[in-house]
Amino acid sequence: MRKQNYLPQPLATAPFTFGSALAAGVSLTRLRRKDVVNVGRGLYRPTNWDFELEDAARALSAASPGAWISHVTAARLRCQLLPPWLADSTELHLSKPRSLPSVRRKGVVGHTVLTMDDESELVDGIRMSTRSRTWLDLARILPLHDLVSMGDELIRIPRLDFEGRSQPHDTIAGLRALVGRHPNLQGIVRAREALDLMRVGADSAPESLLRLAIGSAGLSEPELQVPLRTGDPRSPSADLAYRHRRLAIQYDGGHHLGEAQILSDRRRNRAFESAGWTVLVFDKSDLADDFAGAVVKIKRALRTGWIDHPQASGFASID
């Protein structure tokens, strides 16, 4: 029989398992050639393959029955919010239940965990932890403010027109139930602290971080996604606001740099100003100093608002 000198697709372009190689008619002898690298038990890749996280995770999942992709790897595959120092991580994390042997694969970070059946799921052929379980797993390594931001993303109400869904990924109650199942998990104390700080309404990580910076400065907590005209679905809204002080706070991220969006933002701000509100707009330059300068401006605006509207009440004093 003539030797097969090539690897069939998709084996030639991504990692693959020994089982998939046999199913494609590739022999063990063929797998020993220089254009194939054995990267672990039953797992191979083409020598010239350029690392791609999804391909690597797919092959690892297929080669690891009973296990699932987890932690940072699962978060990256789902595009969950991660701090910059983890956003480009190429680590491969694999979790197994305690009933299976520990993970011992070169280049793979293994975890032996206690989990429930509904804490992992099959996504595009890859077995991985759910978004909520991923959030809980990362509680042991993420700083509190980043864990809150990641949690805010889980509980925010999505916009059907833009995201194709109308329900959040989870709720505060659902996350509390998840945390309650795992009282001895590393990071569980931080997860509980994060739950107390999470709020529905933050549309981005910077909005969450700005809210947390405001709270850390001892200021009263602003409302989130505040419409100028209550009950009007077409009303412009503020990312954060002190309604009784008529102070609107906006965070304009990178998507606000387009000409159409700039015009829309101007109309939004003018609408608030015409109604007697003060509008503060912050961007990535304010994020760079952890919103320290932004908090100073907010304090100043709140003091001014208190003088202009002395009848306002129900807020913490501004020092």
Sketch out the chain's domains with CATH numbers: 1-50 (no CATH), 51-200 (no CATH), 203-319 (3.40.960.10)
Q: Indicate the pLDDT class of residue 258, thresholds 50, 70 and 90.
A: low
17 bridge partner residues: 43
Read off the pLDDT of each residue in 218-231 and give the average, rounded to a whole number: 94
pLDDT at residue number 316: 40
Percent share of the chain, pLDDT over 70:
92
pLDDT at 254 over 70: no
Read off the pLDDT of each residue in 271-281 and give the average, rounded to a whole number: 95
pLDDT at residue number 260: 67
- Positive or negative torsion for Cα 81, 84, 88, 89: negative
* Residue of 255 and 310 predicted with greater confidence: 255
Longest dimension (CA), the chain: 93
68 bridge partner residues: 95
pLDDT at residue number 279: 96
* Residue of 119 and 2 predicted with greater confidence: 119
> What is the number of residues in the chain?
319
pLDDT at 63 over 50: yes
pLDDT at 132 over 80: yes
Quickly list DSSP for 19-82: HHHHHTT--TTGGGSTTEEEEETTEEEETTPPP-HHHHHHHHHHTSTT-EE-HHHHHHHTT---
Neighbours of 12 (CB within 10 A): 14
Neighbours of 199 (CB within 10 A): 19
pTM to 2 decimals?
0.82
Could you tell me if 15 and 56 are in contact, meaning their C-beta atoms sit under 8 angstroms apart?
yes
Q: What is the mean pLDDT of the chain?
A: 88
